[in-house]
């Protein structure tokens, strides 16, 4: 397989995550990711499913807290799994207890109860929740407007271009545009994400918007808040469709909100390879004549179309 980790005593889960993740990042063989993980897990004396859970928890922790040392992670991976669920329900709530969780000051029972409380809150939309969401969108748009003005067209590769805020368009919602020599070059969409919708659906809708804009401009950008999980989801879709970095670009605000940072994190892509993923161009249907269920993909090179009994 071209990859080897020596057998050693069991150690902290985050240290194991770092070691296995480093091996996966550098792996250049032909085996599937799942097979590689099974072999590495066996060498370490762990069940492959447990190692996969550690990888998922470690990747999530890195996304919201940055690279850490094992000494900084005083809790178990199960604590981080529950924190990730909370993050999906309420990002601010999860971030607010991140340090306490890392310091092992949050029990599993407490985290479960917190998840249950926020699950009920999300399941019962209120005017307060909607107002908070509107306020979050407005604040992100305001900050992005200031950052884009300060960055200028040069940040996007057009030193002689001009930045325009498009306030009316029959086809596209409000966005920013860079044109150079009177020719539209870049569309820049400022987005936050909607916690009431699944991120897969939200990312799919953004991809449709980008595809609709693409014939008319050279580049399409989306700018998300710092730490946005939707950015990870859209990165996976864009990577799968071979659009990322070619005509579709993603960015997030810096942590201090004074600049735009190009987004390149592909942790979600690896995560999907480990746990299974849905093809953004996949489809399912029923054969009108035989009544058999059938599925496939709109990828032109796809040979996976099949019928099921």
3-class SS string, the chain = CCCCCCCCCCCCHHHHHHHHHHHHHHCCCCCCHHHHHHHHHHHHCCCHHHHHHHHHHHHHHHHHHCCCCHHHCCCCHHHHHHHHHHHHHCHHHHHHCHHHHHCCCCCHHHHHHHHHHHHHHHHCCCHHHHHHHHHHHHHHHHHHHHHHHHHCHHHHCCCCCEEEEECCCCCCCCEEEEEECCEEEEEEEECCCCCCCCHHHHHHHHHHHHHHHHHHCCEEEEEECCCCHHHHHHHHHHHHCCCECCCEEEEEECCCCCCEEECCCCHHHHHHHHHCCCCCCEEEEECCCCCCEEEEECCCCCCCCEEEC
Choice between 173 and 131, residue whose per-residue pLDDT is larger = 173
Same domain flag for 19 and 85 = yes
For residue 301, the tally of other CB atoms under 10 A from its CB is 6
* Separation CA 139–CA 129 (nearest Å): 15
pLDDT at 307: 55
> Residue 168: its pLDDT value, please?
86
* Domain identity same for 175 and 191: yes
Domain co-membership, 184 together with 205: yes
- Give domain status of residue 2, yes or no: no
Mean pLDDT of the chain: 83
pLDDT of 300 above 70: no
Asked which of 93, 123, 153 is the last residue of a domain, the reply is: 123
Q: Which of 302, 270, 240, 227 is CA-nearest to residue 20?
A: 270
pTM of the model: 0.54
- Return the half-sphere exposure (C-beta side, CA atoms, 13 A cut-off) of residue 78: 8
Mean pLDDT of 163-188: 90
pLDDT of residue 268: 56
Encode 254-268: b = buried (16+ Cβ within 10 Å), e = exposed.
eeeeeebeebeeebb
Residue 297 lies in a domain: no
Q: Please say which residue of 123, 142, 175 terminates a domain.
A: 123
Q: pLDDT at position 191, please?
A: 92
Q: Do 63 and 163 reside in the same domain of the chain? A: no
Residue 152 maps to which CATH number?
3.40.1350
Rounded Cα distance between 280 and 263, Å, is 20
Mention every residue, 6+ apart, whose C-beta is less than 8 A from residue 196.
Answer: 122, 125
Asked whether residue 117 falls in the same domain as residue 135, the answer is no
Average pLDDT over residues 205-212: 92
CB 106 within 8 A of CB 97: yes
Q: How confident is the model at residue 3 (pLDDT cuts 50, 70, 90)?
A: very low
pLDDT band, residue 224 (cuts 50/70/90): very high
Q: How confident is the model at residue 206 (pLDDT cuts 50, 70, 90)?
A: very high
Same domain, 114 and 214: no
Whether residue 142 is predicted with pLDDT greater than 60 in this model: the reply is yes
119 and 18 share one domain: yes
Domain count across the chain? 2
Indicate if 146 and 66 belong to the same structural domain: no
State whether 266 and 206 are in the same domain. Answer: yes
**pLDDT single digits (tens) 68-120:** 999 999 999 999 999 999 988 888 899 999 999 999 999 999 999 999 888 87
Q: What is the span of the domain harbouring residue 152? A: 131-275
Instruction: Say what the pLDDT of residue 107 is.
Output: 94
Query: What mean pLDDT do residues 194-223 have?
Result: 86
């Amino acid at each position: 397989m071209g990859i080897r980790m020596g057998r050693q005593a069991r150690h902290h889960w985050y240290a194991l995550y770092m070691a296995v993740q480093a091996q996966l990042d550098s792996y250049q063989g032909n085996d599937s990711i799942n097979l590689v993980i099974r072999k590495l897990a066996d060498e370490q004396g762990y069940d492959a499913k447990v190692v996969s859970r550690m990888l998922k928890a470690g990747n999530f922790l890195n996304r919201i807290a940055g690279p850490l040392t094992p000494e900084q992670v005083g809790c178990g991976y199960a604590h981080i799994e529950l924190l990730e669920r909370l993050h999906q329900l309420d990002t601010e709530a999860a971030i607010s207890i991140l340090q306490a969780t890392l310091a092992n000051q949050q029990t599993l029972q407490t985290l479960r109860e917190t998840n249950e409380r926020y699950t009920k809150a999300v399941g019962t939309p209120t005017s307060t929740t909607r107002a908070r969401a509107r306020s979050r969108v407005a604040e992100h748009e305001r900050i992005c407007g200031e950052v884009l003005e300060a960055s200028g067209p040069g940040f996007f590769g057009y030193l002689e271009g001009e930045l325009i805020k498009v306030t009316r368009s029959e086809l596209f919602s409000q966005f920013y545009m860079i044109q150079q020599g009177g020719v539209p070059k870049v569309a820049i969409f400022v987005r936050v994400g909607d916690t009431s919708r699944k991120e897969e659906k939200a990312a799919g809708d953004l991809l449709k918007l980008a595809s609709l804009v693409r014939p008319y401009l050279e580049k399409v950008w989306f700018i998300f808040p710092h730490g946005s999980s939707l950015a990870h989801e859209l990165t996976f879709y864009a990577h799968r469709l071979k659009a990322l970095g070619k005509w579709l670009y993603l960015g997030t605000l810096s942590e201090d909100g004074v600049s735009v940072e190009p987004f390149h994190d592909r942790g979600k892509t690896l995560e999907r390879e480990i746990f299974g993923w849905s093809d953004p161009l996949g489809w399912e249907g029923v054969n009108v004549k035989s009544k058999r269920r059938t599925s496939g993909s709109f990828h032109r090179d796809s040979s996976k179309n099949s019928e099921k009994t």
